[in-house]
Amino acid sequence: MNALITLIVVLGVPGVLPALAVARRSPVVVFLAPLAGALMAAVAATIELGIAGSLLADYVIVAVLVNAAVIAWWLRSGSSAQSPAPWRWGWGWLIITAAGVLGGAAIPLAALRAPFIGWDGNSIWLMHALMAYGGHHAYLAGLQNVADRFDNPDYPPLIPAAIALTFRLFGVGNLHLGAVMTSLLTACGLGVVGTGLATAVSRAGTVSRAGTVSRASTVARVAAIAAGGALCVAGFGVGWSYAVGGYVDLMWTAAAVGAVVWGLVLPPSRQALGVAWTCAAVASLSKNEGLTTALIMLALISLRYRPLTMPGPQLRRWAERVLLVLVPALPGLAWAGLIHLLGIHDNFFASPSTESMTMRAEATAAGMAGHLPVAPVAIAVLVIGSVFLRGRRERAGLGNPLWLWGTCLAYLAVLFVTYVHGSLEIHWWLMDSVNRTTDFAQVVLFADLALWLIIAVDEAFSRADHEPMTSGYADGKDTAGTPSAAASGRDMSPTAP
Amino acid sequence: MVAAIAALGVGAHRDKLVIDMFTKPQAVHQQTTNVAAEQCLYQAIRSEVPKGAPVYTQDGYYTQRLAELSTLWAVPVPTLAQARYQLAVIPGGQCYGLALKVSRA
């Protein structure tokens, strides 16, 4: 309960305005707000480590500055800040969607009844949280202590910062609070994915000429909410007991998949981009793999929003693409740079491995394949969906599935290279970690399956009298790259369910 | 559609297994004991070791746990020669079947 209070009051409340500014009136705000708060806490922890102060003081400063900036932006933008989002949620569907996905994300938390703290939950995340809780000198001395090198001191600060804030509020009388906070933030990340899936169908829903949503669309939307909730449960299934034992692997995975769904699947818009950026920043500050994956995703998102074929001044276009990657990656890169400056590093690449590359590669391929049973199913569904549902997907303005698959394959390639070139004994390393490092690939493929399912239901239940969704722009944007009025002004949801 | 539902179902079933695993009374009892022991060791370090003391925590399975629980109180050092105290976890009744052993280095 204490971790939940921290999540809502300490992280969620300061995150509401930024989340609203990013996503507007959307059920994703429920899950995005705590993540935005955690992101601000991570930035505060970076300041605490790099400059001075205590986490709480730095967090208050960061939260006040961010919220003031949002308010100033709102006041300055005036009516333009109120421009219609590409989706407009009626309150009824908004509440049903948020409640449905929240229900799915909450079910796995039943496992928290047993106060289980896993090995990394203790040796890495609780330890870093205690350091962050202690203020600048304790944090710096702790991470630089060579006797504590086993704790991967270069790991990013988002989860330790969130846990340390919980300790600041309730004391260190219950170490299990750390694992609970990690699971709650994981649930929020999966909630962002689930609401993203529901948003996909809110765009794809069929609207009758009278302006009312047809029964088919209602069925599709209910199916989308169910799929979003199921994805949350299945995501925790992928994370296994680690997801409730204080491990961060599913947490960064959930945020990263959120970035994929909002940035590479949903129709391009400022709102979807903002949610994707927030999720990518959260992933980049949650674990080292999260930063690498965030950079991959952000590069693909920039190419989607600024395609290579787009006419115009090339230099400016490339500058925009670079900015689209760098701006959201800045917090994660700042942490990585700070850690490098302080001379802090882990043991993964400490010395060259004595094992042969071939042997390491074979072991890695076998180890990774063993944890991707969902891949053959996802490939089959991708092929079938691309043949039979491609038109429906395009009409909905959803991104080409190659974006999602590209992210997945690029991540697996980076993971493969990391294992092959790392210094730890490969079989032990794989046995200890590959079931968790493949979380991202598994959950992103589950999200793809859920998406095809939603599109299939929508297609099956759609009526012949629906209007075309877009006004000739496949991705719902005009030639300037902004959401078209036709696409953004259409209300896909009834005011009441 | 069937394949997608089946795959999501398998994923959800995996989570059900985790929930079942952690909601059994024995599991709740065991984990409650474990975390209480950890919390007890955390307090024991604070009551038996002077604040800021350099400590040697190399104790096999409990090395990392002792270093973690010393955080913000004692300072783990890499060699025994640098330490003032050596910490170890031994079987005993102090902390739910475990006890903290503090010896001069």
Sheet of B85-95, strands arranged across: B75-76, B54-56, B85-95, B98-104
Q: Count chain A–chain B contacts defined by CB atoms under 8 A.
A: 153
Place of tokens 């991570």: A42
Closest CA of chain B from A146, distance in Å: 7
Interface of A with B in 374-393 (CB under 8 A): 374, 377-378, 380-381
**With contacts defined as CB-CB under 8 Å, which chain B residues touch A146?**
78
Of B59 and A91, more confident: A91
Q: What is the pLDDT of residue A316?
A: 84
CA atoms within 13 A on the CB side of A53: 16
Cβ partners under 8 Å of residue B7, min gap 6? A234, A374, A377, A378, A446, A449
Q: Is A174 on the interface with B (CB under 8 A)?
A: yes
Type and span of the H or E element at A60 = helix A55-77
C-alpha A158/C-alpha A125 separation (Å) is 10
pLDDT band at A493 (very low <50, low <70, confident <90, very high): very low
In 3-state terms, what secondary structure has residue B102? strand
Q: What is the pLDDT of residue A15?
A: 97
pLDDT band at A478 (very low <50, low <70, confident <90, very high): very low
Nearest in space to B37 (alpha carbons), one of A124, A179, A176, A128: A176
Look up the domain containing A82 and give its range.
2-347
Q: What is the pLDDT of residue A90?
A: 85
Q: What percent of chain B has pLDDT over 90?
A: 86
pLDDT band at A187 (very low <50, low <70, confident <90, very high): very high
pLDDT band at A310 (very low <50, low <70, confident <90, very high): low
Q: Work out the average pLDDT over A326-339.
A: 96
Cβ of A107 within 8 Å of Cβ of B78? The answer is no
What was the ipTM of the complex prediction?
0.94
Q: What is the pLDDT of residue A484?
A: 37
Q: Is A129 on the interface with B (CB under 8 A)?
A: no
Cβ of A377 within 8 Å of Cβ of B6? The answer is yes
Cβ partners under 8 Å of residue A50, min gap 6? A338
Of A146, A151, A236, the CB nearest to B78: A146
CA atoms within 13 A on the CB side of A137: 4
**With contacts defined as CB-CB under 8 Å, which chain B residues touch A117?**
34-35, 38
Which range, of A22-31, A325-334, A345-354, A378-387, averages the lowest pLDDT? A345-354
- What mean pLDDT is reported for chain A? 88
Q: What is the pLDDT of residue A203?
A: 55
**With contacts defined as CB-CB under 8 Å, which chain A residues touch B51?**
none
Is the pLDDT assigned to residue A210 strictly greater than 60?
no
pLDDT band at A473 (very low <50, low <70, confident <90, very high): very low
Q: pLDDT tens-digit profile of A58-116?
A: 999 999 999 999 999 988 887 565 555 667 788 899 999 999 999 999 999 999 999 99
Interface of A with B in 443-462 (CB under 8 A): 446, 449-450, 452-453, 456-457, 460
**With contacts defined as CB-CB under 8 Å, which chain B residues touch A235?**
11
Strand bridging mode B54-56 / B85-95: parallel
Of A123, A147, A176, the CB nearest to B76: A147
Q: Does the residue A247 lie in any domain?
A: yes
Q: What is the pLDDT of residue B7?
A: 92
* A46 and A340 Cβ atoms separated by less than 8 Å: no
Q: Does the residue A454 lie in any domain?
A: no
Q: Does the residue A433 lie in any domain?
A: no
Q: What is the pLDDT of residue A311?
A: 67
**Residue A267 region, left (φ>0) first, then alpha (ψ -120 to 50), else beta?**
beta
Is the pLDDT assigned to residue A439 strictly greater than 60?
yes
pLDDT band at A480 (very low <50, low <70, confident <90, very high): very low
Interface mutation vs chain B, best among A241, A449, A451, A459, most B CBs within 10 Å: A449
Interface mutation vs chain B, best among A124, A145, A448, most B CBs within 10 Å: A145
Cβ of A240 within 8 Å of Cβ of B14? The answer is yes
C-alpha A9/C-alpha A2 separation (Å) is 10
Structural tokens at position A130: 């205690």
Q: What is the pLDDT of residue A82?
A: 58
Cβ of A113 within 8 Å of Cβ of B57? The answer is no
Q: What is the pLDDT of residue B82?
A: 94
**With contacts defined as CB-CB under 8 Å, which chain B residues touch A104?**
none
Q: Does the residue A458 lie in any domain?
A: no
Which range, of A40-49, A108-117, A241-250, A315-324, averages the lowest pLDDT? A315-324
Closest CA of chain B from A235, distance in Å: 7
Is the pLDDT assigned to residue A223 strictly greater than 90?
yes
Q: Which of A97-101, A147-151, A200-204 has the highest mean pLDDT?
A: A97-101
Cβ of B65 within 8 Å of Cβ of A123? The answer is yes
Interface mutation vs chain B, best among A113, A145, A155, A442, most B CBs within 10 Å: A113
Q: Work out the average pLDDT over A147-163.
A: 93
Cα end-to-end span (Å), chain A:
32
Place of tokens 């409990």: B62
Closest CA of chain A from B15, distance in Å: 4
**Residue A481 region, left (φ>0) first, then alpha (ψ -120 to 50), else beta?**
left
C-alpha B13/C-alpha B17 separation (Å) is 6
Is the pLDDT assigned to residue B64 strictly greater than 80?
yes
Is the pLDDT assigned to residue A471 strictly greater than 80?
no
Q: Does the residue A449 lie in any domain?
A: no
Type and span of the H or E element at A418 = helix A401-421
Q: Does the residue A66 lie in any domain?
A: yes
Q: pLDDT tens-digit profile of A102-124?
A: 999 999 999 999 999 999 999 99
Closest CA of chain A from B93, distance in Å: 20
Q: Is A138 on the interface with B (CB under 8 A)?
A: yes
In 3-state terms, what secondary structure has residue A394? helix
Q: Work out the average pLDDT over A395-422.
A: 94
Is the pLDDT assigned to residue A398 strictly greater than 50?
yes
Q: Which residue of A has its CA nearest to B67?
A: A148
Q: Does the residue A48 lie in any domain?
A: yes
Q: Does the residue A187 lie in any domain?
A: yes
Interface of A with B in 93-122 (CB under 8 A): 107-108, 110-117, 119, 122
Cβ of A231 within 8 Å of Cβ of B8? The answer is yes
C-alpha A131/C-alpha A233 separation (Å) is 32
Q: What is the pLDDT of residue A83?
A: 57
How many domains, chain A? 1
Of A202 and A417, more confident: A417
* A24 and A271 Cβ atoms separated by less than 8 Å: yes
Q: What percent of chain A has pLDDT over 90?
A: 72
Type and span of the H or E element at B76 = strand B75-76
Q: Is the dihedral of CA A420, A422, A423, A424 positive or negative?
A: negative
Q: What is the pLDDT of residue A84?
A: 59
Is the pLDDT assigned to residue A385 strictly greater than 70?
yes
Of A117, A236, A380, the CB nearest to B15: A236
Of A127, A174, A449, the CB nearest to B7: A449
Q: What is the pLDDT of residue A115?
A: 96
Nearest in space to B82 (alpha carbons), one of B45, B57, B99, B63: B57
Q: Work out the average pLDDT over B54-80.
A: 92
